[in-house]
Structure 1
Amino acid sequence: MSRNIRVFGIQQTCSSDKAVSLETTRSWIEKAAKQNADLIVLQELHATDYFCQTQEPNKFDLAEPIDGPTAQFLSAQAKQANAVIVGSIFERRAAGIYHNTALVFDRDGSLAGFYRKMHIPDDPGFYEKYYFTPGDMDGFKPIQTSIGKLGVMVCWDQWYPEGARIMALKGAEMLIYPTAIGWDSDDTSDEQTRQKDAWIGVQRGHSIANNLPVIAINRVGHEADPSNQSSGIDFWGHSFITGQQGEFLALADHQDACLVEATINLNKTEQTRRIWPYFRDRRIDAYNGLQSRYLD
């Protein structure tokens, strides 16, 4: 028995001007809607350039409340497209508390739920701890929509199997990772390939280990470092969608803005778990160490 949904990811370039970025997003949503999209996934922080390359206090002015202009735009787009949309905002929760937040809007434009990024990186060119407060401790909760339960996480979360597993144990029917990740252009081509392959590989592992589809949508294009202290970031694209055994259903290239689309049969999870019963054989009595920082 099939329960098919048409999934589209939008791999796009972004501008420091929100109006420009959102107009680009709108045009891609329109194209997906014309192809009968049920679910449209946008990349991380799609309304602006990736401002986390530097630490600048004035960048906090980009933040919006959870019902702010970008949310209202996404709500209207979901209703017009008659599709569930997973979008992203730089959220101002309160004075001094800001989050990297994914928003999920149902087909009627209503806010089905939101997720605040739990794992926050702090690396050269990715100074997110300066801007973002981690999500609350109970953050790994699937979001119920008209097309199913969505296990939405954000970017750096994708490297952690624990988040994916908790989402799966709570009934998520797919794992979704809006992303902004790229290369340092000073890295060798071999190192760039290793990094990109690791990014794809770890998420395919979550798909296989949980028998769930994965939708990972990354931005694309070069974004300069405003401080001129580095050569900027080349976002590596390669947005992809897998089926329940980690098989590629769609895979984009590293340089082109595009739609990434696939038809996913959500009922295949039941069939796959009958053959690969990882959940049956989990040794839940032996995993206590997972809540420790390190085991000496």
Structure 2
Amino acid sequence: MRIALAQMKNDGTIKENMHKSIELMREAAEKKADLILFPEVQLTEFFPQYENKDVTGYSLSAKSEEVYEFQKACKKYGIIAVPNIYLEENGKKYDASILIDADGQINGTQKMVHVAQAKQFYEQSYYTPSDDGFKVFDTEFGKIGIVVCFDRHYPESIRTEALMDADLILIPTVNTKSEPSEMFEWELRVQAFQNSVAIAMCNRVGTEGNMHFSGESIVVDANGEVIVKADDKEQLVYADIDMAESKIIRGNRPYTGLRKTEFYE
């Protein structure tokens, strides 16, 4: 399976970012990618850096025109897409990624479970924690899980999806140059190794307000080895992943199967 990570910068408006996203889908499909992963809140500025930002017009429903445009593009270009949007559902708003199959049908939605509240990450001011937890989605290539940004800092997130037999876990994120990049890489490598699962993390780039996004989108295999890591420039990052490898490695190195859960609190 070939995946593409859309390491994007914010172009200013939902319309402009939407146009760029569709163009990146087209380009990725031309390069024979089977799936394209986008960074967190790709259609707008990273508004949670502000404690009281007016975000009128930023939220979308699963039936919004923008989501439908992604669906049409998936079908047109024959590619799976995983956009991340500011989702409004049943009167609540979430940080959510939607997995859209290559036939244009929505396979499912993963909402952020753990919601941060810290300097430049005032996410509790905008987001509701997920009401339906972690999920793994069946695709034609294997089982794919999504862990949204901050969730990856909790080992239970990736572990839970690995226990649901995920072959690949996708992470849309917003990492900055002031954060510990090397630590973030090792965080993924260790979790990939301990859970025998491939992980791909897609970040944004550019400067917005006082935040300087670092890029460095990365793909790690189920042995914890780095397949590819980008720099801080806007680009599509490609990686070829053997989706069967996760199950094989998990069978040969059965860490998860040997857990003694009766002793855990």
Q: Would you say same fold, with TM above 0.5?
A: yes
Partner of residue 247 from structure 2, selected from 240, 252, 270: 270
Q: SS of the residue aligned with 2:181?
A: helix
Q: Match for 2:127: what amino acid?
A: F
Partner of residue 213 from structure 2, selected from 226, 235, 260: 235
Alignment correspondent of 1:98 = 93
Maintained 8 Å contact 2:141/2:243: no
Alignment correspondent of 1:117 = 112
* Partner Cα separation in structure 1 for residue 9 and residue 30 of structure 2: 21
Alignment correspondent of 2:195 = 210
Gaps of 5+ in 2: none
**Can you list the C-alpha shifts for 1:237-273, whole angstroms capped at 9, x where unaligned?**
10011111111111101x2011111111111123322
Maintained 8 Å contact 2:74/2:103: yes
* Partner Cα separation in structure 2 for residue 266 and residue 283 of structure 1: 28
Structure 1 runs of 4+ aligned residues shifted over 4 Å read none
208-217 or 19-28, which deviates more:
19-28
Maintained 8 Å contact 1:47/1:70: no
* Partner Cα separation in structure 2 for residue 280 and residue 93 of structure 1: 36
Count of paired positions: 265
Q: Match for 1:91: what amino acid?
A: L
Alignment correspondent of 2:185 = 200
**Can you list the C-alpha shifts for 1:142-198, whole angstroms capped at 9, x where unaligned?**
0122222211111001111101111111121111101112134xxxxxxx5xx1111
Alignment correspondent of 1:188 = none
* Partner Cα separation in structure 2 for residue 164 and residue 90 of structure 1: 22
Q: Say which one has the larger Rg.
A: 1
Maintained 8 Å contact 1:114/1:143: no
Q: SS of the residue aligned with 2:17?
A: helix
1:156-235 equivalence runs, <5 A:
156-184=150-178, 192=179, 195-224=180-209, 232-235=210-213
Per-residue deviation at 1:15? Answer: 2.8
* Partner Cα separation in structure 1 for residue 144 and residue 185 of structure 2: 20
After superposition, the CA RMSD in angstroms is 1.4
**Can you list the C-alpha shifts for 1:83-120, whole angstroms capped at 9, x where unaligned?**
1111111011133x111111010010000000111011
Quick check: 1:43 aligned with 2:44? no
144-153 or 171-180, which deviates more:
144-153
Maintained 8 Å contact 2:95/2:127: yes
Maintained 8 Å contact 1:106/1:145: yes
* Partner Cα separation in structure 2 for residue 198 and residue 60 of structure 1: 35
